[in-house]
Amino acid sequence: MGGEAVSRFWREIPQRYNLIGTKCKVCNRIYFPQREVCPFCRRKSIGKMEEVKLSGRGKVITYTIIHVPPRKFEGQVPYAVAVVELEEGVRVTSQIVDCDLDKIKIGMEVEATFRRIQDDGWTGAIYYGYKFRPVEKHEDKK
């Protein structure tokens, strides 16, 4: 029976759906997930952090193929997770999808895509967020 803290997941929607980070207007560093205070400017940055939407494009810094999953991810095994460095210099961790597992490489260019991340069982809420797929050149068919 679904009963997880939906508010905990709902709160992260702008970040998980749309990669909305924050930028410190004092030093221009960009952070994701959002920060209230810049770790470098600290008190000078209070009230000076503004929202910024990240492009979702980046490259793979490192990755692994998971064979022993945590609960709720059993059906996806084997799957790939990676640390991706986005264009803005920020790093995030998520899955790599729409790609043969043995084709994933360090340095590979990827773009964010909207996917189901997990859910609270058959009766619970569904939590969406970002995963990454390889950037491809599109080819016509027919």
Binding site for another protein (CB under 8 A): 12-14, 17-18, 33, 61-71, 73-76, 79, 81-83, 91-95, 97-98, 100, 106, 113-118, 126-129, 131, 136, 138-142
- Measured from the CB of residue 97, what is the shortest distance to another protein in angstroms? 7
Sole residue written with tokens 């207007």: 25
SS3 track for 92-124:
EEEEECCCCHHHCCCCCEEEEEEEEEEECCCCC
Nearest residue (CB) to another protein, 47 versus 131 = 131
Nearest residue (CB) to another protein, 27 versus 106 = 106
- Measured from the CB of residue 58, what is the shortest distance to another protein in angstroms? 11
* Ramachandran area for residue 44 (φ above 0: left; ψ -120 to 50: alpha; else beta): alpha
For the chain, the farthest-separated pair of C-alpha atoms sits apart, in whole angstroms, at 60
- Measured from the CB of residue 60, what is the shortest distance to another protein in angstroms? 10
